[in-house]
Structure 1
Amino acid sequence: MRNKIQDIMREEPSAMLITDNWDDPVINMDINFNQHNARRAGLGKTDIGLSLLSVTEGIPVGSLYDGSILKNIYLKNIGYNSLEDVTVNSMLPNITAVTEEESIQRMLMDPERKQLLIDRLTSGRPVKEISDSISFEWKDPVAYRYNGQRAVIVQCNNAYGFTAEDTRLALEKKINERIDFPDGYSMKWLGEYKASTDSNKYLFRSLPIAVIFMFAVLVFLFRDFKKPLIIFLCLPLAYIGIVMGIFVSGKPFSFVAVVGALGLIGMMIKNGVVLIDEIAAQIKTGVEPVEALLSASSSRLRPVMMASGTTILGMIPLISDAMFGPMAVAIMGGLLVGTIITLMIIPVFYALFFNIKCD
């Protein structure tokens, strides 16, 4: 399954640097331990493991620094042609060798046989005498898991000129067409897709609270519910410019674009507050309501557009950036179109909410 998905990635022109998180298989040595023979020889599994380690990888006995690099010192036993002939020695004397009745009788009859006693206490046994067989098998060194289940992470990068979402959609289509996952197997997209999905979830979960606080601030500012409602009704108009900017530029509507779109809320509210405050100020000075709507819209058009224009010009260097390009396009399009429409729509809503009629 892993190889099939990697083959699909290699065929896809928008994918590059294909790899996975599983290491190369390693040789696993399986020893059929004979417990009866090993016990008579006074040997255990630890003894046979250390003895085989000494003739294969070596036993680490210390370390030293080669400049600033720490290197281990290994003790290695050489001279064996077969692992079955490796001598296994015990870390403790073989007491069973001198507790047998026959051995005790021989030592009592010949007290000078001290060397025989020492040999019996310290002598080892070949691996083949304390094991029935030795076999080798290729196995994966580590079984990786994701959320407690065994998993293989196959990954790649998007090629130059393609976004990560473009590559993901192309691969998803081919994988769904060519691979049928058996029962018990499933596929899950991680990487940038998961990060973006999780971020959007957490972002929009807190958005209603932010909207409530912003509306409360506007109510406190105007001492009125109608004027904040007028501003909030104009906010969706900014997304006309966002859609146009994304469509014209060809940028994906990614997480950073969503952040830019949400950031427009504050800018649009600021423009609405400036316009409504000017309308209310002119009406308060005695100007006719209809004249106040027209005059405030024309007088506030230049400063509002100049403020929006500086922000739009500041976003230009980010358009070519792979990560922040979608955010820049979303802010530029939404701010340009949204500001113009807002300056024209707010007076209309103001007239409807406050029952201002043209004579």
Structure 2
Amino acid sequence: PVGFPVQFRVVGPDTQMVRKIAREVEAVVASSPKVRDVQLDWNDPVRAMKVQIDQDKARALGLTPSDVSMVTQTVMNGATLSQLREREDLIDIVARAVPQERLSLDTLKDINLYTRQGTVVPLSQVATVQHELEEPVLWRRNRDMAITVRADVKDGEQGVTATQEIRPMLKDIQAKLPSGYRIDVGGAVEESAKANDALLAVVPLMLGTIMLLLMLQLQDFSRMWMVLLTAPLGLIGVVPALLAFQAPLGFVAILGIIALGGMIMRNSVILIDQIQIEINEGRDPWNAVLDAAIHRTRPVVLAAAAAVLAMIPLTSSVFWGPMAIAIMGGLTVATLLTIFFVPALFAAWFKLRRHQPADGTDPAQGQLVPTA
């Protein structure tokens, strides 16, 4: 889960400067027609009560910062005096000042502090109490302050598409960033990049496993490489399909392309295996290629049609739509190409030639042909 699909992180050492830059980025993101609910992951500064101790006066009276802190914490937050048992639960008994006293600066200034000599002095004699604005939550990233400008996308929009559209609009802000400050892209783009990296890490293992399985099935290096060469045929149909439906080529679409490659290689294995069966039965290699292509066209087309039709309900999904579109477009084109490309590739790979018998019959048609 990404949370907000559109995210831009403003990172830098100074809190106020980071917030200022984040406000500028927020205004740019909000101007995009594809996003909504633009916000920061930092809340607005809140009013806090700060006690500033005069160290010289406190030491003169025999008070330490911990003494002052203990008294103020007891008044503000309370101190646990005991516990009350109610059946199996223990309930803390907390003593603290009433709300009217806790929220009043004048009352806090008159809090009595007991020195080690037994004298009583008011808090105002050794410290100043005042209200200040401070950040309620501070997020850091690699030890730097980081504010994330985040937004949701409108219905029918993709987080990756919206992010790519907003990035050029931030160039003016990035050009005038002070040294040590930067704007990072997060959200769907960042998560997609992480997923792609994780996917690429297992590609060598995936290819090795595919080659092993093909070798076990075909038991021939030439036929194995022939099947592998048919896998990219799906890209011829994937690109136009994604462009026609304006679907992004993201992580989900890449998953569809990988699955598509497996479907295409399966069809190629079926066709090449049938050719080998025909040849093993004593058929002429040229005729074996033709007969295998004819006999396997219907099952290959029906299997591809079933897969394409099964993807139709997913095309309306914002998340799974790109995968379904990639499979539908790629499998439709690749199936048609496989029926013609694989037999032609097989004949060219093994240098098959049409054999002309001496009796003048056409081996492909079984009919007489004119002879000189």
TM-score (norm. length: structure 1): 0.83
8 Å contact kept, 2:109–2:129:
no
Aligned pair partner of 1:332 in 318, 328, 334: 328
1:331–1:63 CA distance, 2 compared to 1 (3 A): farther
8 Å contact kept, 1:246–1:326:
yes
1:58–1:224 CA distance, 2 compared to 1 (3 A): closer
Deviation at 1:71, TM superposition (A): 10
Question: What is aligned with 1:137?
Answer: 132
* Separation of aligned partners in 1, 2:335 and 2:67: 81
1:146-157 paired onto structure 2 within 5 Å: 146-157=141-152
Q: Secondary structure at the match of 1:89?
A: strand
Aligned pair partner of 1:285 in 261, 265, 281: 281
* Separation of aligned partners in 1, 2:277 and 2:108: 100
Q: Deviations over 1:102-124 (max 9, x none)?
A: xxxxxxxxxxxxxxxxxxx3x42
* Separation of aligned partners in 2, 1:352 and 1:221: 22
Q: Secondary structure at the match of 1:82?
A: helix
1:81–1:353 CA distance, 2 compared to 1 (3 A): closer
Question: What is aligned with 1:109?
Answer: none
Question: What is aligned with 1:13?
Answer: 33
Question: What is aligned with 2:112?
Answer: 88
Q: Secondary structure at the match of 1:142?
A: coil
Aligned pair partner of 1:220 in 216, 223, 247: 216
Deviation at 1:241, TM superposition (A): 1.3
Deviation at 1:217, TM superposition (A): 2.0
- Structure 1 spans left out of the alignment, 5+ residues: 98-120
Deviation at 1:172, TM superposition (A): 0.8
1:142-221 paired onto structure 2 within 5 Å: 142-179=137-174, 180-221=176-217
1:298–1:15 CA distance, 2 compared to 1 (3 A): same
8 Å contact kept, 1:87–1:124:
no
* Separation of aligned partners in 2, 1:249 and 1:155: 27
- Structure 2 spans left out of the alignment, 5+ residues: 1-20, 356-372
The answer to which structure has the higher strand fraction is: 2
Question: What is aligned with 1:126?
Answer: 122
1:45–1:347 CA distance, 2 compared to 1 (3 A): same
1:85–1:280 CA distance, 2 compared to 1 (3 A): closer
* Separation of aligned partners in 2, 1:340 and 1:347: 12
Q: Deviations over 1:128-185 (max 9, x none)?
A: 2223x44443121332111332111110011123211221122112111455322111
* Separation of aligned partners in 2, 1:206 and 1:138: 51
Question: What is aligned with 1:75?
Answer: 96
Aligned pair partner of 1:242 in 229, 238, 241: 238
Deviation at 1:33, TM superposition (A): 2.0
Q: Secondary structure at the match of 1:319?
A: helix
Identity of aligned residues (%): 27
Supply the AA of the counterpart residue of 1:186: R
* Separation of aligned partners in 1, 2:105 and 2:53: 21
8 Å contact kept, 1:84–1:127:
yes
Supply the AA of the counterpart residue of 1:21: D
Q: Secondary structure at the match of 1:16?
A: strand
* Separation of aligned partners in 1, 2:349 and 2:269: 16
Aligned pairs, how many? Answer: 326
1:18–1:356 CA distance, 2 compared to 1 (3 A): same
1:58-73 paired onto structure 2 within 5 Å: 58-59=77-78, 61=80
Q: Deviations over 1:10-50 (max 9, x none)?
A: 22111101111112213344444233433454432233234
Question: What is aligned with 2:44?
Answer: 24
* Separation of aligned partners in 1, 2:318 and 2:73: 51
Say whether 1:51 aligns with 2:71. Answer: yes
1:74–1:353 CA distance, 2 compared to 1 (3 A): farther
8 Å contact kept, 1:282–1:292:
yes
* Separation of aligned partners in 2, 1:278 and 1:74: 87
Supply the AA of the counterpart residue of 2:44: D
Deviation at 1:72, TM superposition (A): 9.2
8 Å contact kept, 1:27–1:139:
yes
Supply the AA of the counterpart residue of 1:19: Q
Deviation at 1:60, TM superposition (A): 5.2
TM-score (norm. length: structure 2): 0.80
1:63–1:318 CA distance, 2 compared to 1 (3 A): farther
Deviation at 1:252, TM superposition (A): 0.9
* Separation of aligned partners in 1, 2:95 and 2:335: 73
1:245–1:81 CA distance, 2 compared to 1 (3 A): closer
1:74–1:303 CA distance, 2 compared to 1 (3 A): farther
